Amino acid sequence: MLMLRVGCCGFPGGMRRYFTEFSLAEVQQTFYKPPRAETLRRWRELAGEEFEFTMKAWQLITHPPGPTYRRAGIQVENPGRYGYFRCTEEVLSAWEATREAAEILRASVVLLQCPPSFRQTEENLRNLREFLSTVSGELTLALELRAPWEEEVLRPLCQELGVIHCVDPLRQEPVTRGIAYFRLHGRYEGSRIVYSHRYTEEELQKVLKKALAHGEAYVLFNNTHMREDARRLIQMSAP
């Protein structure tokens, strides 16, 4: 039996309305800077017991300082100690803040979204392995790599450490079996993403077929028409 969970990255239409229409959301605010504990508790209470959260890990773990730091009002003194899964005191403190936020929200999955600049190098692989080994078992993690990584490198790493390989199912297949975590950003034109893309019936059927192949899948839309496309996929999957 398919266990399909469908939602959006964020709360299109407003949080209160969203909670009445969907049963899953991926929290984006935790990527920029985790909200205060009382804010997260309020969201958890407002959502209701049956609602499911997933969330993005704080950018200090995955991204080096740049525009998204400035957007969040974050200033750092030693840029080389942040991002790319470096097991520094700063990154591990950011993980602790992420873990605490996930516990309050009761987030079922924490997404580690990497920047396109996080390429397959010996240093990045070493940092990723050390970080995942350090935090392994604390939460269910999904890893989204936005640069090409070889399957023969990624597959044993994810299997060894129990990490879900997050992908856009219309672009590639995950290297992991079991639970799938799909994120749909829009149409790709080379490396450029067209977020304004509205998914066709054929594309949504392909997503549903790939979800069926896993048996248990999260499908999160992150395009301009995410609310509409997520609702269409839910209707399409109804018995």
pLDDT of residue 215: 87
- DSSP assignment of 11-71: -TT-HHHHHHH-SEEEE-HHHH-PPPHHHHHHHHHHH-TT-EEEEEPPHHHH--SSHHHHH
The token duo for 174 is 């995950």
CATH of the domain at 194: 3.20.20.410
* pLDDT tens digit sequence for 56-89: 999 999 999 999 999 999 999 999 999 999 999 9
Strands 192-194 and 187-189: antiparallel
* pLDDT tens digit sequence for 199-215: 999 999 999 999 999 98
Q: For residue 123, how many other CB atoms are within 10 A of its CB?
A: 9
Contact 227, 13 (CB under 8 A): yes
* pLDDT tens digit sequence for 135-159: 988 799 999 999 999 999 999 999 9
* pTM assigned to the model: 0.96
Domain that holds residue 70: 3-237
Residue with tokens 């959006």: 8
Query: In the predicted model, is pLDDT for residue 191 greater than 90?
Result: no
Torsion of CA 201, 9, 84, 134, to 10 degrees: -110
pLDDT of residue 238: 86
pLDDT of residue 141: 97
Q: Which residue type does 162 have?
A: G
User: Could you give the number of structural domains in the chain?
Assistant: 1
* For range 184-196, the mean pLDDT: 92
Residue with tokens 């269409």: 232
Confidence category of residue 1, pLDDT binned at 50, 70, 90: low
| Bridge partner residues of 164 (DSSP) | 142
Helix (H, G, I), strand (E, B) or coil at 77: coil
- DSSP assignment of 98-154: HHHHHHHHT-S-EEEEPPTT----HHHHHHHHHHHHHHTTSS-EEEE--S---HHHH
